[in-house]
Structure 1
Amino acid sequence: MILISCPATKSFAGGFDETFQKDIQKYIQEEPILKGALTGISIRSARNGEVLFEYNGDVRMRPASNLKLLTTAVSLSIFGEDYRFKTEVRIKGEKSGTFLDGNLYLKGYGDPTLLKENLSQLAKDVRKSGITNIEGDLIADDSWFDDIRLSKDLVWSDESAYYGAQISALTVSPDDDYDTGTVLVTISSGNRVGEPAKIQVSNKTKNLKIINQVVTVSPDSEKELFIGREHGTNTIIIKGLLPLGVTAEKEWVAIWEPTQYVLELFREELVKQGINISGTSKIGKVPKDSNILTNHFSAPLSEILLPFLKLSNNGHGEMLVKQLGRVKKGEGSWEKGIEVMYEQLPKLGVDVKSLMIRDGSGISHVNLIPANELSSLLFHIQQEKWFPVFLESLPVAGYKEKMIGGTLRDRMGTLNIKAKTGTLTTVSSLCGYLKTEQGETVIFSILLNNLLDEEKGKQIEDEIVEIVSQHVNGSR
């Protein structure tokens, strides 16, 4: 049963005219791409929260990455915009001159933005402390989170994709896009037809292997590339054909066991600093009576939210949920983090009885939320002191700078919009704020499910928002 509601009264100057309901209903019913699909729309006044229009507004639908709006709001309300994540280096044993007769520990606390250069600085700090010989082991401690690496609904075919990376309290990113738990693979053509392609990998360790089966072909040939990772290993297989002289291809590949990978990187950085480690490298726990040697702190949450929302970074969403569980419930798990979300969301205007939350990123096809609840969240959080940070983190339509426009940098450039995109197989979504020519703001939530081509859903969203814009600005 399709539910349509459009109040006859106008909530603000230049608001909806009498033809709006007929225009948008006609569009939804006649658009071929939406035939057989499920559409949920909620449009709300940002000034007083009045629902100006809804279409299946209370029907639970898959939100895709629009779920990140909930994760962000709860994280800001619990942690605050100045919250920072830490990574520690600790020692246990006797320090005598340049010798440490004991173990060196690297402990993670869920930093989703840790880089190799941060590990390098920690290694330099160890060297500056005077230690050049460790007569013990190097131990990585990721026990701040549980050892469940993948969310329960992640499909097996996504496990090597950057958006399906394993989650650990101790993990590293290849660059400042902060796709944590991945490596960046760059593939360039050879110098001549028939030669193998050239492969470069960021942060390569001795246990990360590349099988290069890419052949350089003539410039007029079609490009065919497959990039994957063998299950249970860090062996990356690259197959296919790459035309001579084409622009290099880049792909982020999720690694297997991120804690072990960080451990390998950190040992290499220690060796670069002239530090000899006589023992083994392994995963374990920091003793309570250990001593801190040095640490690294992340940027504040207000800055971390930029890659999270603008670039729709799945790994950050899952790490934030586990952080919520650890800080509030003493357990860094999806289960406890989601409990915190259910407890906090009613304070932010969301009826949690209408939701199904399974992760922090929206990658699960089991997540469900009505469009009206998303628009309600976006209305109520305007009163929170951290709202300016939230708003600044949303992609800006048509703005080409990646860390401003984000996933909207090539869309709706003529409109004043800040909104979160979402994409899953058969799902597309868009929720955010539209500022009118009169200076007022309209909140919108558009959820499209059961699409045969989710990419075409982006066009549908843009056209729906355009219809809304034309009516609220009085051009029809």
Structure 2
Amino acid sequence: MRTLHFEISRAHRVRRCFLDCGKQSDRCSCLSLRILHYWGLGAKRLTDGDSRTIIPTRATNLAPLGYGVRHRHYQAIRSIGWNLLQLVIASGLFLSVSHNTVAAMPQSLAVELEHLGLPATAISLYVHRLGDDQPLLTHLADRPRNPASTMKLVTTAAALDLLTPTHTWQTHTYVLGQLQRGTLDGDLLIQGSGDPQLVIEDFWRLIENLRQRGLRHITGDLVLDSSLFDRNAINTKPLDHKRYRAYNTPPDALLVNFRATRLEVFPEGQSLRIYADPPATTLRLENHIKVLPGRCKGRTGGITLTVKHQANGTLAKLGGRYPVTCGPTGFGRVLLTQDAYVYGVFRHLWLASGGTLLGTWRSGVAPTNQRAFASHRSDPLANTVRDINKFSNNVMARNLLLTLAAKHTQGIATPSDGRAAVFAWLTRTGIRMPHLAMDNGSGLSRSARLSARGLGQLLLHASHGPWGPEFISSLPLAGMDGSLRQRFRGLAPRGRIRLKTGRLSGVRAMAGYVTLSDNQTHAVVILINQEKLSNRIGDAAPAAVLRWLLRPR
């Protein structure tokens, strides 16, 4: 049985609002009334203003919920329960269940959520005006829930503080052999530093740096050093059965272009041409798509993909049917293994620039007694945080957590070390998140948990911290950019809603800042967990909360 907390209050606050008991039926399923029934008490509903209130009364002909309490003890328990409650009320105390009761919520909002078909027990809310001592609204704010991608706010806030917004990553190269007249008689090693955003343009710049240093021909292998992250400690299993989707990409210290390949399908007359972007010498494509005659009529979902990994790369077969009248199309997938991708993309760009590479790829570790030959420095962390939160990039967030781990341990990084770094930061800063379970730092997890209050406390801390501007500006703007580009248009003037989104099967979440017409900014957290949650309810419920908040008072 859950613990009861007694809090000092005035007598007129004895009445408590439990919104999931707000139906017209006399039967109530909320935990608070179950407790009253257990102690032999009944209850009646009163409607008062913007709340629905439960008033305890003496029960008649009620069977206890019991947990094995025998009938001969029932009368004694009921008498004790009634006397205890009278004592509590007389002394100006009220009962509140620790964290799983349904707390007070404005009736107008409760009615709208009920109309949508969302149970009050499925949503947690926390709204707190910046600068106030107490929150404006809490509802199941201490219940642990899956936050989906709003977990990225924890990772990025910690990173801004621990690394500072100007932090950068450097990808180094080393020549392992003799370099004479443009020819390296030996191997070239690339050492990853955990850069979450080493995209194809940056990789090309690194290759240009090699050429500017005089390197043209490599007689040996391309040696890849990803040793900064412990691959054995990283969970590489996809969250769902869609293993080739980019959101399931695992992190790596030498992550290039998020390991993503975009497959383009381009009509040429009455046939179709396919190509990969970026090209990789380790990826082979086969085109088995059948051309459909007639008008397009939206028939764009008929292309299939089968992938077969081989010793020297990957074979991807595109099949199905597609009308040429639909025009070009494309989709991104993760087709190559980590090292095959880095080698294949490097080799393609290197050969295209006029260089030669005679060997294959293998793993290795950079020398500690040798200076780097050529390097690439990343954009600052503030830019990385912006892209993580605006576009909800999972693998970037996972790489960032492992970067925190490397700094925390000054050695090889594991996800558990990253979590330890974040927990130590929370303790040092005084942010209370007792229900936090981070897993991989991206929110792409079924085991990740936090509470609305805990995430709200983090938002309050971040808003007035030294890196508050960088953190707040990293959040998507409603109706304008990122994952909110198509959401909440017209709900408020442009620039007043900045929210990080989160979405998994059965989970919808939003957290960030909302500025009202009086220019007062509120930290807002909305967490919805419900089995078989529909897109309609998952999209409409946060909008209802925002409409309530933005309503003139």
TM-score band by shorter chain is 0.7 to 0.9
Instruction: Give the Cα separation in 2 of the matches to 1:84 and 1:216.
Output: 48
Residue correspondence of structure 1 range 144-163 to structure 2 within 5 A: 144-148=228-232, 151=235, 154-155=238-239, 157-163=241-247
Distance 1:254 1:454, change over 3 A: farther
Q: 1:374–1:445: 8 Å Cα contact kept in structure 2?
A: yes
Distance 1:101 1:172, change over 3 A: same
Partner in structure 1 of residue 465 of structure 2: 384
Instruction: Give the Cα separation in 1 of the matches to 2:452 and 2:215.
Output: 57
Instruction: Give the Cα separation in 2 of the matches to 1:366 and 1:152.
Output: 15
Q: 1:49–1:376: 8 Å Cα contact kept in structure 2?
A: no
Q: Could you give the per-residue CA deviations for residues 411-441 of structure 1, whole angstroms, max 9, x where no partner exists? A: 1123220010110011111111110101101
- Is 1:308 matched with 2:388? yes
Deviates more, 1:431-440 or 1:20-29: 20-29
- 1:335 aligns with one of 413, 416, 422: 416
Offset at residue 83 of structure 1 (A): 0.8
**Number of residue pairs the alignment of both structures matches:** 447
Offset at residue 326 of structure 1 (A): 1.1
Q: What secondary structure is seen at the aligned counterpart in 1 of 2:231?
A: coil
Instruction: Give the Cα separation in 2 of the matches to 1:247 and 1:446.
Output: 40
Question: TM-score, normalization: structure 2?
Answer: 0.75
- 2:438 aligns with one of 346, 357, 361: 357
Distance 1:191 1:272, change over 3 A: closer
Structure 1 gap ranges (5+): 10-17, 174-179, 400-404
Instruction: Give the Cα separation in 2 of the matches to 1:285 and 1:469.
Output: 56
Q: What secondary structure is seen at the aligned counterpart in 1 of 2:187?
A: strand
Partner in structure 1 of residue 301 of structure 2: 224
Instruction: Give the Cα separation in 2 of the matches to 1:190 and 1:273.
Output: 28
Which structure's CA Rg is the greater one? 2
**Greater relative CO (CA pairs within 8 A, separation 6+):** 1
Partner in structure 1 of residue 289 of structure 2: 214
Q: 2:266–2:273: 8 Å Cα contact kept in structure 1?
A: yes
Q: 2:308–2:316: 8 Å Cα contact kept in structure 1?
A: no
- 2:511 aligns with one of 431, 454, 462: 431
Distance 1:236 1:48, change over 3 A: farther
Offset at residue 123 of structure 1 (A): 2.4
Question: TM-score, normalization: structure 1?
Answer: 0.86
Partner in structure 2 of residue 117 of structure 1: 201
Offset at residue 359 of structure 1 (A): 1.1
- 1:200 aligns with one of 259, 262, 275: 275
Q: Could you give the per-residue CA deviations for residues 305-338 of structure 1, whole angstroms, max 9, x where no partner exists? A: 2221111111111100111111211222212111
Instruction: Give the Cα separation in 1 of the matches to 2:334 and 2:179.
Output: 38
Identity of aligned residues (%): 23
- Is 1:101 matched with 2:190? no
- 1:79 aligns with one of 163, 171, 181: 163
- Is 1:54 matched with 2:131? no
Q: 1:151–1:334: 8 Å Cα contact kept in structure 2?
A: no
Instruction: Give the Cα separation in 2 of the matches to 1:54 and 1:207.
Output: 54
- Is 1:27 matched with 2:112? yes
Distance 1:72 1:244, change over 3 A: same
Q: What secondary structure is seen at the aligned counterpart in 1 of 2:325?
A: coil
Structure 2 gap ranges (5+): 14-48, 51-104
Q: Could you give the per-residue CA deviations for residues 330-373 of structure 1, whole angstroms, max 9, x where no partner exists? A: 22221211111121123455334312111111010110111111
Offset at residue 168 of structure 1 (A): 1.3
Deviates more, 1:65-74 or 1:379-388: 379-388
Q: Could you give the per-residue CA deviations for residues 203-236 of structure 1, whole angstroms, max 9, x where no partner exists? A: 1222212243433322255333355453656333
- 2:123 aligns with one of 39, 62, 74: 39
Offset at residue 149 of structure 1 (A): 8.4
Instruction: Give the Cα separation in 1 of the matches to 2:251 and 2:221.
Output: 24
Q: Which one-letter code corresponds to 1:215 in the other structure? A: K
Instruction: Give the Cα separation in 2 of the matches to 1:255 and 1:148.
Output: 21
Q: Which one-letter code corresponds to 1:75 in the other structure? A: A
Instruction: Give the Cα separation in 1 of the matches to 2:167 and 2:475.
Output: 19
Offset at residue 161 of structure 1 (A): 0.5
